[in-house]
Amino acid sequence: MGTGSGPTRRFTDAVERTATVVGPGTHVRGDIETSDPVEIRGTVEGDCRVGASCIVREGARVVGSIEATSLLVAGEIEAGTLTAEKVEIRSSASVRGTIKARTVAIAEGALYEGDVQMHDPTSGPVLFQERRAGADGRRP
């Protein structure tokens, strides 16, 4: 367990308010702006400005920039910019765009094309192997 000096769990494990869900088979054309969490399982063509976490699930697609406090990507994103404190790209993800974040983690097997601009210039992206049951982070 942690010593209180920092988080001991992944940001997607945190308990958060109920998310707005763009369901599978749903196609949104236009921007999304909310202070609540967002979970995308369908398609969004537009920018997303989220004042909480944003999760792009496996099979989902976003064509547009995303700004959120934390961002987990297991699906496909074609963006100008992905901006968040923490960005995690899972092995099933395909991401094209510029990432601007304090913490970036990219799983082995993920497709990423673009630039990474980190708030802390002394650090770089963390590469990891997924050890959880599902590529989208869901528990069995």
Euclidean distance between CA atoms 3 and 25, whole angstroms: 44
Instruction: Tell me what percent of the residues of the chain surpass a pLDDT of 90.
Output: 69
Residues whose CB falls within 8 Å of the CB of residue 115, separated by 6 or more in sequence, listed in order: 98, 99
Q: Exposed, middle or buried by CB within 10 Å (0-12, 13-18, 19+), for 94?
A: middle
pLDDT at 6: 44
* Residue type present at position 99: I
Q: For the ranges 21-30, 49-58, 125-134, which has the lowest average pLDDT?
A: 125-134
Q: What is the pLDDT of residues 78-133, one digit of tens each?
A: 988 999 999 999 999 999 999 999 999 999 999 999 999 987 656 666 666 776 55
| pLDDT over 90 at 39, yes or no | yes
Nearest CA to 44 out of 34, 35, 116, 113 is that of: 34
Nearest CA to 39 out of 111, 136, 112 is that of: 136
